[in-house]
Structure formats: structure tokens, C-alpha cells
Amino acid sequence: MQLILGSASPRRRDLLAQIGVVPDDIRPADIDETPQPRELPRPYCLRMACEKARAVAAGEGDIVLAADTTVALGRRILGKPEDEAQARGFLAAMSGRRHRVITAVALRKGARLWHRDVVTSVRMKSLSQDEIDGYIATGDWQGKAGGYGIQGPAGALIPWIGGSFTAVVGLPLAETSALLQAAGYPIWKSGT
């Protein structure tokens, strides 16, 4: 049995390593991540994680682990910004407000699919133009849902979260561990 991570995210690899899990292979899923018309953030995120898990080639006994993280401002999905201007717009929209970070995890073994999603409330402080400019200049916004990564410089912009920190980073560890164990992957090994 091999564990295949269906993600190129170094953050997800680092989070798995925190619980002693090292994927045998990394095969990022190549899917269309365009939201469907009027699709809400939570169902969208769960659909993305499941589609990613199904899209990765694997042997019958292998386990594919895929995830998706979506930032939601009300009913609006804030994906990965396409450019600096969109990242600035996302930050300005979240400034001084609460938003939700949804991370869905899907695990596939053969034809069987397990999934969970975790919703975390996040409050971003009221941002000055200098703070937005300074954060954009770091380049840390690139490739991150909502245009920020809480584990990097943007941590200084987030005074409060309610929920799972690891889910905001990209992989809720408690839920991921439970899914891996449900699929027969040993997390806690004794006598090794």
C-alpha cells in the first residue's frame, strides 16, 4: 500500500510530516477548478477535494490523499489571485472583517472515498495601505487561496481565528489522521 499525495503544496507535505506521515509519491491532480454558477464555497471546496482524489492515478490498494482550501467572504469564493491587483482586492475586501477558510480533505482507496471538511473563522485586522503594499511586496500572496498564507508574513495581519489553524494552513491534521486510519493507514505505530 502506497500513500499518494495529490497535491504539490509544500505546506501540506510539511503538515503531514508533523504527524509522522511521509507520502510515498506526490502526484498533483490536474482538474478544472472553476466554480459552477451560484456554487457556494463549502460545497465547492468539498467537490474540488473529491475531484482531485478521483483524478490521481493509483493502484487498487493505494491511498490517494487530496485537499482543497477555499477562502469565503460571505457567499463569495476567494480563490488563488490571478495577479497582484486581485490579491490587493482580496485583502482590501477582508480588511477589518471576518471570513471563513474551508479546507476539505478527500481520501480514496480503490473505489472507496472518504471526505471531511473543516470551516474556520478568521478575522483580519483593519489594514492600512502601507500594510497591504508591504504584504504584496513579500510575494507571499502568490498561489494561496484568498491571497494570503497565515503561516507566513500574513500571520501579523490575523489577530484571531476560531477553529483549526492547520486547516487554515491547508490540511486539518486531526481530520486527516482520522481519514487515514479509516482507510487502514497506520498513523500511530508502536515499537518502531
Count of beta carbons in the 10 Å neighbourhood of residue 87 = 24
Indicate the pLDDT class of residue 189, thresholds 50, 70 and 90.
Answer: low
pLDDT score recorded for residue 187: 85
Q: Which fold has domain 3-183?
A: Maf protein (3.90.950)
- Mean pLDDT (the chain) is 94
- Find the catalytic residue in 14, 68, 133, 140: 68
- Exposed/middle/buried for 41, CB within 10 Å: 0-12, 13-18, 19+? buried
Given pLDDT bands bounded at 50, 70 and 90, which one contains residue 23? very high
What phi-psi label fits residue 163: left (phi over 0), alpha (psi between -120 and 50 degrees) or beta? left
62 is catalytic: no
| Domain layout of the chain by residue ranges | 3-183
Query: Torsion angle, CA of 42/47/48/49, rounded to 10 degrees?
Result: 90
pTM for the structure as a whole: 0.92
Banded pLDDT at 172 (limits 50, 70, 90): very high
pLDDT of 191 reads 46
